Amino acid sequence: MIYFSLKYIMLLVIVVNECITKTVNDDNLQLKFVFILMRHMNRAPLIRYKNNTNNIVWAHGLGELTDQGIWNSYRVGQALRERYLGFLHPLQRYTPSEIDVSTTEVDRCYQTAGYLLAGMYPPNEEQTWNKDLKWQPIPIKTSLSKDHQKFSNDPRLCPKYAMELHEKCENIMKTENVKTFISYLKNHTSNPLTTTFEVLKLVDAIYTERMANYSIPNWAMERYQDFENFLLLCMTVLVETNQMKRLYSGEMLNDVLQRMEASIKKSSEAKKIYLHIGHDSTIVPFLKTLNIENITYPFYGASVIMELYATAANETILKLLYNRDYEWKDSKIELIELPGCPQPCRLEDWRTLTQQMIPRNLSDECKN
Ligand SMILES: *[C@@H]1O[C@H](CO)[C@@H](O)[C@H](O)[C@H]1NC(C)=O
Ligand SMILES: *[C@@H]1O[C@H](CO)[C@@H](O)[C@H](O)[C@H]1NC(C)=O
Ligand SMILES: *[C@@H]1O[C@H](CO)[C@@H](O)[C@H](O)[C@H]1NC(C)=O
Ligand SMILES: *[C@@H]1O[C@H](CO)[C@@H](O)[C@H](O)[C@H]1NC(C)=O
Ligand SMILES: *[C@@H]1O[C@H](CO)[C@@H](O)[C@H](O)[C@H]1NC(C)=O
Ligand SMILES: *[C@@H]1O[C@H](CO)[C@@H](O)[C@H](O)[C@H]1NC(C)=O
């Protein structure tokens, strides 16, 4: 009985969904605003670990973009220009009202933005100021960043958050899986591995070598999936509770909402695109804050994209897209259902849905 009624309800849901979908014909959607939250491109490891048998020279330094990261940033800029061709200025002219770009205060993020913008905004004929240089400076504003990735490194920035994170990290270190994983690592390196951050840096160093196509030792290759799982675990623990989500990602969510509203109201500060370059530790928490569950560890250049459209009926709807890596192929960009706001997700419904995640006064809420 229950089975049949459930099936019937499912059928109803599908039928109702189809009706709604039909009222929103994709051809009649007009793009109004785009938010792109991107992880920086390929970088070197953050540390050198002990007993590493690879002797790799990271020419640009630890933690910095690699040559591949530089080129990928540039190509992504070209791909974005292509993707939003009809939306951006028809003469490919940079104007301040077109885009806001922010990054964290980390060199690799800033430089990702710099190379990306070189690909996205080569000066058109009119804006060429030096015929030997197909480049013009586009503002990159770390001051606009609402990315609180620093909360996890510096407890003074948000004591309440830091306390909760500390507790969650200690819990991780006590789980059987992680204890076994760490003792396995200790069999192969004498790096200190007492905190999650120490383990994270080691795991990242090996993972990064592999991402840069170096061969990694057999012992690491055998447990490669554990490496990726541990990285993802370290990102999800950043927002394990609703309070952590609110403190860590709430301001960014609010910023995006306000920018969307500004664009609907055509207010003078509205921009067409807001691009923020952050980290794996920005992307995973942001997706978790939207209650998206099945997240995979974000590759370099992975992006969360939110596109705001006006419908023919003058409604405003929202699409969440996810691009797994730095290749902006349409076939690889997936539409993700916003939990609690099925397609077509109206902006006002999403606003209502997300209100509880937005801090009223962050510095106040950060107090212990
Ligand atoms: C670490 O090495 C010891 C000695 O070879 C071995 O008994 C143990 O099982 C290893 N630990 C893990 C987690 O592989
Ligand atoms: C790592 O190398 C040091 C010497 O540099 C050695 O003493 C130590 O036993 C090595 N650790 C492992 C786990 O192989
Ligand atoms: C690694 O190798 C793959 C496959 O050959 C290639 O597509 C990729 O660009 C390479 N990555 C780097 C960092 O060289
Ligand atoms: C989660 O899984 C669903 C169903 O397999 C898929 O449609 C969706 O794209 C996935 N979301 C992410 C963020 O990978
Ligand atoms: C659509 O809505 C906006 C904002 O509410 C309003 O300014 C605009 O005039 C409306 N356009 C049409 C065609 O109704
Ligand atoms: C936020 O809280 C702080 C600390 O309690 C206070 O100094 C500040 O004035 C508040 N800001 C606003 C906009 O209310």
191 alpha carbon to ligand 2 midpoint, in Å?
9
- Cα 120 to Cα 71: distance, rounded to the nearest angstrom: 13
Looking at residues 97-119, what average pLDDT do you find?
A: 98
Identify the residue whose C-alpha is closest to ligand 1 atom 9. 184
314 alpha carbon to ligand 5 midpoint, in Å?
6
- Return the pLDDT at 360: 96
Going from the C-alpha of 9 to that of each of 1, 2, 6, 14, 18, the distances in angstroms are 12, 10, 5, 9, 14
CA 128 to chain centre: 33
- Return the pLDDT at 25: 59
This prediction's pTM = 0.90
Looking at residues 6-35, what average pLDDT do you find?
A: 59
From 152, 357, 356, 322, select the one nearest 237 (Cα to Cα). 152
- Return the pLDDT at 24: 52
Q: Which of 182, 183, 190 to mutate to test the pocket of ligand 1 (most atoms within 8 A of CB)?
A: 183
Mean per-residue pLDDT over the chain, rounded:
92
Model confidence at 368, pLDDT cuts 50, 70, 90, reads: confident
Give the number of the atom of ligand 2 that is nearest the alpha carbon of residue 190.
11
User: Which ligand is located closest to the Cα atom of residue 267?
Assistant: 5
- Return the pLDDT at 19: 40
Q: Answer yes or no: is the C-beta of 53 below 6 A from any ligand 5 atom.
A: no
Residue-by-residue DSSP string for 26-37:
GGG-EEEEEEEE
What pLDDT digit, counting tens, does each position of 187-211 carry? 999 999 999 999 999 999 999 999 9
Looking at residues 174-184, what average pLDDT do you find?
A: 96
- Cα 251 to Cα 28: distance, rounded to the nearest angstrom: 32
Q: Which of 264, 308, 314, 316 to mutate to test the pocket of ligand 5 (most atoms within 8 A of CB)?
A: 314
What pLDDT digit, counting tens, does each position of 22-63 carry? 445 576 899 999 999 999 999 999 999 999 989 899 999 999
Angle at which helices 224-236 and 196-211 pack, to 10 degrees?
Answer: 130
107 alpha carbon to ligand 3 midpoint, in Å?
23
In the chain, what's the furthest Cα-to-Cα distance?
76
Weakest mean pLDDT among 51-55, 66-70, 158-162, 177-181: 51-55
What pLDDT digit, counting tens, does each position of 226-250 carry? 999 999 999 999 999 999 999 999 9
- Return the pLDDT at 367: 96
- Return the pLDDT at 90: 86
Identify the residue whose C-alpha is closest to ligand 5 atom 1. 314
Q: Which amino acid is at 263?
A: S
- Cα 282 to Cα 284: distance, rounded to the nearest angstrom: 6
- Return the pLDDT at 325: 87
Q: Are the CB atoms for 112 and 277 separated by under 8 Å?
A: yes
